[in-house]
Amino acid sequence: MTALTVPARPDAGASPRPLPWRRMAGVTWRQHRAALAGMALLLGALAVWLWRMGVPLHRAYAAAVACHPAASAACQDLVVTFNSSADGHFMGSKGPGGVLLQVLPALIGAFTGAPVLARELETGTFRYAWTQGFARWRWALAKLVLLAVVLAVATAAFGALVAWYFQPYGGASPQVPGLFENSPFGDLFSLRAVTCPAWTVTAFTIAALAGLLIRRVVPAIAATLAAYAGLAFAAAVLLREHYLPPLVTTAVSLPGASTAWAISQWSTVNGRFAYAGDPPLNLVNQYCGSGSGAKLGPPGAVFTQCLAPHGYLQWTSYQPSSRLWPFQWIEGGWLLALSVLLIAATTWLVHRRAA
C-alpha cells in the first residue's frame, strides 16, 4: 500500500453514521416556517374573530334561555336580541363565514402539503437534499410526520373553538330555537375538535402525494382541492349515515327531534310498503279532503289526523344526537388510517424514485 492508497481516516471504508431523527426537526422548521407562520396567522386571526363574535352571542343566548316565563314580552325581547347578535346572515353554516370555515381544512392542507416535495422536485434541489447524511425515505417521512402533527394540534384547538362558537346556533333550548341547521351531523360536523384535524391532515397528505407525482406546486394544490372535494362529498352523502346502524321509530315526532338526524321515512299499510317520504297528494285528497273534517297542516299532522286511522303506519330511520362523538371518532379514525397510508405510499415512492 503506497501513500496514495492509504485511507485518509482509519474508518473511511465504513458506512457513515446516519444523522439522528431530531436533526430533521430543525431542517423542517427552516424549510417550512413561512407556511407554518402563515397557517398560524390565519388560524389566530380567525380565532380572535370567532371569540369576539362568540362572547356576546353566548351571553345573549344564556340570557334568553334563563328567562322565565318564556312567553313573556321581556323573554321574547331577549330572544330577539339573541337573533340580532347572532349575525346569522354571515356566520351561519350556509353563510359566507360558515362556508369559509368549511373549506379551511382543505386550504390549509393543500397549501402546506403541496410544496413539501413538489418544491424540491420543481426547483431541482432534491439532488442536493437526497445526497446528505439522511436517507431520502427518512427525509420524506420525518418532514411529513412532523408537519402533520403540527397541523393536527393547531386545527384541533381551532375546531374546539368553532364548535363552541356555533353551539347557540343549534337551538339546544326549546324556548330559543336554533337559527340554522340544528343537527350536529350537518355542515359543521367536519369542523369539530376531532374531525377538523383529521380532515386537515388528510388534505395535507393528499397534497404531499400529489406534489410528488405531479412535481409542480400549483397543479398539486388544484389536484388536492379536487380530490378533497370528492372525498368530503362521499363522506357526507354516502358514508356518514352508515357509521352505526340507524334507529327506527314509528313516532311521528322523533325523539330529540330538534337535533336528531332523520335519514329516511316511509309508510306501510297493513304491513306492506305504501310510500316513501311525505304522503302523496292522492292520499291527502282522499282521506284529508274537505269532506273528512280534518284540518290540513304539516305532513306529520296530516298523517296523524287523517292517514293513521286508515291503517297507515309511518316509519323513520334516524341517528340520535347522542351519537355525535362516536361518529366523530369513527370518521377521525378512518381519515387517520387513510393519512397513514398516504404517508407510507409517499415515503415508498420517494425511496423508489431515481435521483
Least confident segment among 5-14, 21-30, 182-191: 5-14
* Confidence (pLDDT) at 333: 96
pLDDT in tens, 24-64: 676 777 777 888 899 999 999 999 988 988 888 888 888 87
**pTM for this prediction:** 0.81
* Confidence (pLDDT) at 11: 45
pLDDT beyond 80 at 135: no
Least confident segment among 60-74, 167-181, 196-210, 250-264: 167-181
Whether 227 and 337 share a structural domain:
yes
Whether 307 and 288 share a structural domain:
yes
Whether 166 and 111 share a structural domain:
yes
pLDDT beyond 50 at 147: yes
pLDDT beyond 60 at 90: no
* Confidence (pLDDT) at 10: 47
Whether 224 and 307 share a structural domain:
no
122: its cell numbers: 420543481
Whether 314 and 238 share a structural domain:
no
Whether 282 and 221 share a structural domain:
no
* Residue 337 falls inside a structural domain: yes
Whether 110 and 177 share a structural domain:
yes
* Residue 76 falls inside a structural domain: no
* Residue 61 falls inside a structural domain: no
Whether 176 and 271 share a structural domain:
no
Q: Which position has the higher pLDDT, 245 or 130?
A: 245
Taking the C-alpha atoms of 291, 293, 297 and 299 in order, what is their torsion angle to the nearest 10 degrees? -70
pLDDT beyond 70 at 95: no
With bands split at pLDDT 50, 70 and 90, how would you rate the model's confidence at 82? confident
* Confidence (pLDDT) at 263: 86
* Confidence (pLDDT) at 12: 46
Which of 78-82, 217-221, 274-278, 315-319 holds the top average pLDDT? Answer: 217-221
* Residue 49 falls inside a structural domain: no
120: its cell numbers: 424540491
pLDDT in tens, 301-328: 555 567 777 778 888 888 888 888 999 9
What is the count of structural domains for the chain? 2
What is the domain extent for residue 236?
A: 106-245+322-352
With bands split at pLDDT 50, 70 and 90, how would you rate the model's confidence at 239? very high
Whether 168 and 219 share a structural domain:
yes
Q: Which position has the higher pLDDT, 177 or 346?
A: 346
Q: How far apart are CA 113 and CA 286, in angstroms?
A: 61
Whether 118 and 188 share a structural domain:
yes
pLDDT beyond 80 at 154: yes
Q: How far apart are CA 209 and CA 108, in angstroms?
A: 15
* Residue 35 falls inside a structural domain: no
Whether 160 and 288 share a structural domain:
no
pLDDT beyond 70 at 221: yes
Least confident segment among 10-19, 65-74, 128-137: 10-19
Three-class DSSP labels, the chain: CCCCCCCCCCCCCCCCCCCCCCHHHHHHHHHHHHHHHHHHHHHHHHHHHHHHHHHHHHHHHHHHHHCCCCCCHHHHHHHHHHHHHHCHHHHCCCCHHHHHHHHHHHHHHHHHHHHHHHHHHHHCCHHHHCCCCCCHHHHHHHHHHHHHHHHHHHHHHHHHHHHHHHHHHHCCECCECCCCCCCCCCCCHHHCCCHHHHHHHHHHHHHHHHHHHHCCHHHHHHHHHHHHHHHHHHHHHHHHHHCCCCEEECCCCCCCCCCCEEEEEEEEECCEEEEECCCCHHHHHHHCCHHHCCCCCCHHHHHHHHHHHHCEEEEEEEECHHHHHHHHHHHHHHHHHHHHHHHHHHHHHHHHCCC
* Residue 284 falls inside a structural domain: yes
* Residue 309 falls inside a structural domain: yes
Least confident segment among 71-75, 138-142, 303-307: 303-307
Whether 146 and 294 share a structural domain:
no
* Residue 3 falls inside a structural domain: no
